[in-house]
Structure 1
Amino acid sequence: MSSETSLPLLAIAAAATVTYALRLGGLLLSDRLPKTGRFKQFMDALPGTILLSLIMPAALSAGLWGWIATICTALCSLRTGNIFLSMLVGVVIVALSRNYGL
């Protein structure tokens, strides 16, 4: 195997090793974390803040229709609790707005 083909494979293997080591570390540490108090409140809020940090830049850059799609997705999720349906609503709104040049 030449160095041209082995270097990407080595990078992929290293990335996979680090990823699974982080996951395993999280599982092993989870029993030692506090189950009450401020730390638990922080950890409970973390998934929502990460989700917002991923959604907000895209919504801001997409303009008005991005905001409309984001709001409709959030409302659908709150009303139905169905994540797939909520994502579908947002994607359809953005696709229609882009297709019709809105």
Structure 2
Amino acid sequence: MPDIQTLATILLMAASTYATRILGYVALRDRTLSPRMRAVMENVPGCVLISVIAPAFVSRNPADLLALGVTLVAATRLSLLPTVIIGVVTTGVLRHLMG
């Protein structure tokens, strides 16, 4: 069972992620977006994911590099949510096994 600080961190991160996503729709609900702006808004989650994953490219930890490879393969075959889940689980398992 995670401690209260870890649980609170996870819940607050989830809430802030959800809030930023919803606030974007609320702020833009009465506006007509150009096709270019619509494309930008649809690609923002992928850009955020890349900014989180990018530091692993320069990691010297073999577990992180292997997990990055698995995540990249998953990204070529699956949608965003399964790719994120596979990446997180693979990283956790490999870090546990490889130290």
Q: Please give the range of the TM-score, normalised by the shorter of the 2 chains.
A: 0.5 to 0.7
What residue is the counterpart of 1:31 in the other structure?
Answer: 29
C-alpha RMSD of the superposition:
3.2
CA 54–95 in structure 1, closer or farther in 2 if over 3 Å, else same: same
Answer with 1 or 2: which has the greater Rg: 1
How does the TM-score come out when normalised to structure 2? 0.54
What residue is the counterpart of 2:98 in the other structure?
Answer: 97
Q: Is the 8 A contact 2:67 2:90 kept in 1?
A: yes
Gaps of 5+ in 1: 1-15
State the 4+ residue runs in structure 1 displaced beyond 6 angstroms: none
What residue is the counterpart of 1:8 in the other structure?
Answer: none
Q: Which one-letter code corresponds to 2:88 in the other structure? A: M
CA 31–37 in structure 1, closer or farther in 2 if over 3 Å, else same: same
Gaps of 5+ in 2: 1-11
| Aligned-partner Cα distance in 1 for 2:87–2:62 | 18
| Aligned-partner Cα distance in 2 for 1:43–1:57 | 24
What residue is the counterpart of 1:48 in the other structure?
Answer: 46
Q: Is the 8 A contact 2:71 2:87 kept in 1?
A: yes
Identical positions, percent = 19
Q: Give the Å deviation of 1:42.
A: 1.1
How does the TM-score come out when normalised to structure 1? 0.53
Q: Give the Å deviation of 1:54.
A: 1.3
